[in-house]
Amino acid sequence: MSLALYRKYRPKNFEECLGQQEIVDVLKNAARQNKISHAYLFYGPRGTGKTTTARLVAKVANCQTRKTDKKFGLLGEPCNHCAHCEEIDAGRALDVVEIDAASNRGIDEIRNLKEGIRLVPSSYDYKVFIIDEVHMLTREAFPALLKTLEEPPAHAILILATTESEKVPPTITSRCQRFHFHKLAVDQIIEKLRKISAEEKFKMDDDALELIAASAEGSLRDAESLLGQLAALDARVTAETVEKTVGQIGYARTATLAGHILEGRLPEALEYVSKINDGGYNVVDLNRELIHYLRRVVSLKFDPRLEAIFKRELTGRELEQIKKHSAIIQPDKHLALLKSLIRAYSEMRYSPFATIPLEIAIIENLK
């Protein structure tokens, strides 16, 4: 069985972690100074590197080369060559325990962790416990975990990871060093996908990679999984292939429809919606993407400083298109259009005639 791309190309050191430079800098400096904390909370959206970073902390804490080579230790990185690093990479390390709190969420599991954490490591300097989706623990389990965080043994490191930090009690978070993982910029994801495609000799159009990156919504893992799925087609993958596979309308189609609407071309807009529908694409998704697109266009009209934020979410070509459409925005007219599209979206989701609310919204605002 072939290894999934997100596992095969998982970062081996901190420098390979994308989009989390501030977090990387802090953790590397802590490693250089041998000031690794006993407890961390990594929180943020899915697929942004929380569990990967937790494993890197486990490696750098137990790396034999760092322990014996003081000069190498100043890099703040694991060597990836010693026995401990290789065992952790391969998932064979007995002293690095990963717990999925979604399926091991009760007080009994945390009591077992409490007992296990007291035992000294078998061969490592530190026992590392990584608790993924920690917010899923039961109300009774959190107090048991709190006791462990309050009085951890010197040889233990606990790393909590979650996508919903607001569900973790403040008594827990206050005892951890907290790191917020951000969504990755589209350009960063595209660059990583391009490198993987070159390494694996995938036949991918640039437009296809851009659409894969955009559909991942800031999650590198989602993008790599979709890349692997599409590569199995054993044919050149185009943006149209991606659209048909994920059922998502690409940026180019959304921008074209937005252009017809913003420039008041009613017949062209209606014809384009009909063409999208006849092509078997999801018209509800089309309206959702259109709303997101116009939201950016209108927002940029009122606050040009948002361009800096949009750069993380869009490619350079996409941003230029949005700036072009922003220049022709008529605030009163197009705010009303945006409200109509939002109302149409709520009606489309439950209607057997999904195109009709969208067409009515367009006609009402362009007639």
pLDDT digit string, tens, across residues 147-163: 888 888 899 999 999 99
**Phi-psi region for residue 169, left (φ > 0), alpha (ψ -120 to 50) or beta?**
beta
Residue 251 to residue 40: CA distance in whole angstroms? 38
pLDDT digits (tens, 9 = 90+) for 92-127: 998 999 998 878 777 788 888 888 888 888 889 999
pLDDT digits (tens, 9 = 90+) for 227-282: 998 888 877 888 888 877 776 677 788 999 999 999 999 999 999 999 988 887 88
The answer to whether the beta carbons of residues 253 and 286 sit under 8 Å apart is yes
**Residues 33, 38, 42, 48: is their CA dihedral positive or negative?**
positive
The CATH number of the domain holding residue 155 is 3.40.50.300
> Given a cut of 70, is residue 1 above it in pLDDT?
no
Q: Which residues contact 352 (CB under 8 A, 6 or more apart)?
A: none
- pLDDT computed for residue 248 by the predictor: 65
> Given a cut of 80, is residue 48 above it in pLDDT?
yes
Tell me, yes or no, whether 235 and 255 share the same domain: no
pLDDT digits (tens, 9 = 90+) for 3-12: 788 888 999 9
Residue 213 to residue 220: CA distance in whole angstroms? 8
- 298: which 2 tokens? 């209108």
Tell me, yes or no, whether 36 and 170 share the same domain: yes
Q: What is the domain extent for residue 263? A: 251-366
- pLDDT computed for residue 31 by the predictor: 94
Tell me, yes or no, whether 15 and 159 share the same domain: yes
Tell me, yes or no, whether 222 and 139 share the same domain: no
Give, for 208, the enclosing helix (H) or strand (E): helix 206-215
Tell me, yes or no, whether 259 and 240 share the same domain: no
Nearest CA to 212 among 47, 91, 17?
47
Tell me, yes or no, whether 302 and 286 share the same domain: yes
- pLDDT computed for residue 215 by the predictor: 82
Domain boundary among 129, 147, 180: 180
With the CA atoms of 355, 360, 366 and 367 taken in that order, what torsion angle do they form, in degrees rounded to the nearest 10?
Answer: 130
Mean pLDDT is lowest, of 272-281, 334-343, 354-363, for 272-281
Domain boundary among 160, 180, 200: 180
Tell me, yes or no, whether 256 and 222 share the same domain: no
Radius of gyration of the chain (CA): 25
Average pLDDT, the chain: 90
Give me the number of domains the chain comprises: 3
Tell me, yes or no, whether 233 and 265 share the same domain: no
Domain boundary among 246, 274, 296: 246
pLDDT digits (tens, 9 = 90+) for 165-222: 999 999 999 999 999 999 998 889 999 999 999 999 998 988 889 888 888 888 999 9
Tell me, yes or no, whether 109 and 219 share the same domain: no
- 99: which 2 tokens? 């717990």
- pLDDT computed for residue 107 by the predictor: 79
The CATH number of the domain holding residue 235 is 1.10.8.60
Tell me, yes or no, whether 14 and 88 share the same domain: yes
Tell me, yes or no, whether 175 and 199 share the same domain: no
> Given a cut of 90, is residue 342 above it in pLDDT?
yes
- pLDDT computed for residue 247 by the predictor: 64
pTM of this structure: 0.81
The CATH number of the domain holding residue 256 is 1.20.272.10
Tell me, yes or no, whether 336 and 197 share the same domain: no
**Amino acid letter for position 104:** N
